[in-house]
């Protein structure tokens, strides 16, 4: 029997999903992205070589696997082909095993201009801190039912008429409301249509392909981007991304119904980070924050911005586990805590309804020994194990993986859902 396994970030993204997708792909036949766009930044380190992926599923480094971009993903063709070219330059063959849904909404230059103009204009500290890649405006066009999709590229005349209409609208907003430069229609048209022939061989009815794979008992891996607290409905609104980042998005974002999912892995860092604005109850501003930031190399993979750092938030994680129906957890970057005297877990909030509630902490002793590269539980210091056991007992979910370094092999595997 094939298995459908899902990888979801439990907090605000950057939990280390890319490495775990890459690791689980060893046993997968297909890897699927179902939401978000190239705002994601998934870092993989294989044999000392670092690869950062934004749009292409993180399973691509495994030659046997088919990589699929579902209809829920917003696609910038220029960025897709930039990523394809970069991977091809390193010898990874891609074009015959990357499938893209005809229903993916296109991110066009006016979406990027709108994203940036909006962030510049906002007052009262309401800046979202977006990645500036046009993600939000592209989803807005989709929901407003005026967006262009990949399938539209293959009827030039219709594409031209439709693009002219929506660019008239967006250029009006750019010029008159944001007092910024409009985007050139002819350039946008030529650039978009210029990708049509290149993308055409990859364009597929993803729903049929995934049904075929499921019936042929393939192992399918669904790769979430961003994190559960950036979900447009369940996240820290309005400081969120524009898609549903939780497991429920799989059904709508690539057409695999919820009853077909077998196991959902929640990836969670051994502490918490957030990039961009918005509430972060366990955020630290002291020397521990600088330590986590430095040792954890906490800079955004997409924008290079420094990530805010804080303690592990079990209280929020419990809610995230319910929203996603998480089956097991993977704790990443445990080694970043190695030098600390004590470690804290947020187990509750004092004022649950506050915009940024005050955490109630439980303090545990640190371990001051290296956990870096550990491959079995036995290799972990007693206090590190106690920290993990406390997370498990508080969340009532098992930890199935512990990632102890950036390489595939730096992982303690307790329960692989594909075994
Ligand atoms: P957008 O997705 O570019 O619209 O940005 C909205 C919010 O989501 C901002 O706070 C971004 O920093 C955050 N965000 C988007 N993608 C990622 C990601 O892959 N990792 C972490 N934060 C992200």
Stretch(es) of the chain classified as CATH 3.40.440.10: 4-101+203-260
pLDDT digits (tens, 9 = 90+) for 224-279: 999 999 999 999 999 999 999 999 999 999 999 999 999 999 999 999 999 989 99
Indicate which residue's Cα is closest to atom 9 of ligand 1: 130
Beta carbons within 8 Å of 327's beta carbon, 6+ residues apart? 263, 264, 265, 397, 400, 417
For ligand 1, atom 5, name the residue with the nearest CA.
130
Q: How would residue 125 be classed by pLDDT, with cut points 50, 70 and 90?
A: low
In order, the DSSP letters of 230-295 are G-TTTSSTTSS-SS--STTHHHHHH---GGG--EEEEEEESSEEE-SSS--TTB--SHHHHHHHHH
Instruction: Give the distance (Å) from ligand 1 centre to CA of residue 40.
Output: 7
The pTM for the full model equals: 0.96
pLDDT (mean) for 153-161:
98
- Homologous superfamily of the 109-197 domain (CATH): Adenylosuccinate Synthetase, subunit A, domain 2 (1.10.300.10)
Q: What is the mean pLDDT of residues 397-408?
A: 94
Q: Could you report the per-residue pLDDT of 319-343, keeping only the tens digit for each?
A: 999 999 999 999 999 999 999 999 9
What atom of ligand 1 comes closest to residue 275's alpha carbon? 12
CA distance 155 to 152: 6
Residues of the chain with CATH 3.90.170.10: 268-413
111 as an active site residue: the answer is: no
For CATH 1.10.300.10, list the domain ranges present in the chain: 109-197
Q: Among 49-63, 223-237, 375-389, which stretch is predicted with the lowest mean pLDDT?
A: 49-63
Ligand 1 center–CA 251 separation, angstroms:
22
Determine the atom of ligand 1 nearest the C-alpha atom of 305: 12
Q: Which atom of ligand 1 is nearest to the CA of 42?
A: 19
In the 3-class helix/strand/coil scheme, how is 347-366 assigned residue by residue? EEECCCCCCCCCEEEEEEEC
CA-nearest residue for atom 23, ligand 1, is 226
- Cβ atoms of residues 292 and 284 within 8 Å: yes
- pLDDT score of 218: 97
Is there a catalytic annotation at residue 335? no
Which one from 11, 14, 338, 400 is the annotated catalytic residue?
Answer: 14
Fold of domain 4-101+203-260: Adenylosuccinate Synthetase; Chain A, domain 1 (3.40.440)
Distance from chain centroid for Cα 30: 17
Query: Which residues does residue 326 pair with via DSSP β-bridges, in sequence order?
Result: none
Residue whose CB lies within 8 A of the most ligand 1 atoms, among 226, 228, 303, for a mutation test:
226
* Residue whose C-alpha is closest to residue 140's, from 99, 175, 111: 111
Ligand 1: residue whose CA is nearest its atom 21: 13
Q: Which of 11, 22, 29, 42 is catalytic?
A: 42
Amino acid 304: pLDDT: 83
- pLDDT of amino acid 123: 66
Distance (Å, rounded) from C-alpha 84 to C-alpha 79? 9
| For residues 11-15, average pLDDT | 95
Residues 60-104: tens digit of each pLDDT: 989 999 999 999 999 999 999 999 999 998 888 899 999 999 999
Whether 315 has a pLDDT exceeding 90, the answer reads yes
Q: Is 46's pLDDT higher than 90?
A: no
What stretch of H or E contains 188? helix 185-194
Superfamily of domain 268-413: Adenylosuccinate Synthetase, subunit A, domain 3 (3.90.170.10)
Side by side, which strands form the sheet with 30-33?
Answer: 203-204, 98-101, 66-69, 30-33, 220-223, 4-9, 263-269, 328-332, 399-403, 411-413
Spell out which residues line ligand 1, taking CB within 6 angstroms.
Answer: 12-14, 39-41, 128-131, 133, 135-136, 225-226, 230, 239, 241-242, 275-276
């Amino acid at each position: 029997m094939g298995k459908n396994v899902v990888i979801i970030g439990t907090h605000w993204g950057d939990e280390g999903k890319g490495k775990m997708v890459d690791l689980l792909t060893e046993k997968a036949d297909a890897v699927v992205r179902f939401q978000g766009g190239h705002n994601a930044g998934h870092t993989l380190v294989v044999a000392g070589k670092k690869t950062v992926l934004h749009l292409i599923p993180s399973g691509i480094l495994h030659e046997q696997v088919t990589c699929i971009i579902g209809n829920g993903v917003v696609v910038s063709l220029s960025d897709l082909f930039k990523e394809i070219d970069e991977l091809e330059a390193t010898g990874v063959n891609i074009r015959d095993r990357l499938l893209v849904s005809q229903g993916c909404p296109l991110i066009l230059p006016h979406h990027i201009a709108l994203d940036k103009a909006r962030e510049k204009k906002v007052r009262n500290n309401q800046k979202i801190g977006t990645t500036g890649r046009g993600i939000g405006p592209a989803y807005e066009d989709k929901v407003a039912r005026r967006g262009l999709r990949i399938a539209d590229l293959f009827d030039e005349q219709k594409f031209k008429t439709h693009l002219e209409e929506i660019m008239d609208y967006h250029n009006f907003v750019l010029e008159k409301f944001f007092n910024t430069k409009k985007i050139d229609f002819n350039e946008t048209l030529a650039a978009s249509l210029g990708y049509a022939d290149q993308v055409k061989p990859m364009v597929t009815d993803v729903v049929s392909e995934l049904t075929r794979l499921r019936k042929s008992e393939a192992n399918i891996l669904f790769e979430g981007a961003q994190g559960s607290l950036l979900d447009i409905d369940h996240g820290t609104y309005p400081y969120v991304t524009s898609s549903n980042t939780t497991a429920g998005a799989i059904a709508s974002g690539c057409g695999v119904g919820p009853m077909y999912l077998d196991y959902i892995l929640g990836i969670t860092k051994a502490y918490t980070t957030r990039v961009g604005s918005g509430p972060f109850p366990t955020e630290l501003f002291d020397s521990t924050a600088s330590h986590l930031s430095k040792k954890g190399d906490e800079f955004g993979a997409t924008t290079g911005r420094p990530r805010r750092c804080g303690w592990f938030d079990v209280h929020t994680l419990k809610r995230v586990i319910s929203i996603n129906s998480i089956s097991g957890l993977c704790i990443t970057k445990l080694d970043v805590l190695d030098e600390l005297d004590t470690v804290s877990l947020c187990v509750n909030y004092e004022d649950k309804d506050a915009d940024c509630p005050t955490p109630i902490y439980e303090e545990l002793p640190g371990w001051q020994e290296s956990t870096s590269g550990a491959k079995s539980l036995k290799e972990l210091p007693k206090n590190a194990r106690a920290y993990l056991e406390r997370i498990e007992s508080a969340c009532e979910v098992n930890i199935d993986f512990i990632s102890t370094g950036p390489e595939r092999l730096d992982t303690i595997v307790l329960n692989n859902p594909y075994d």
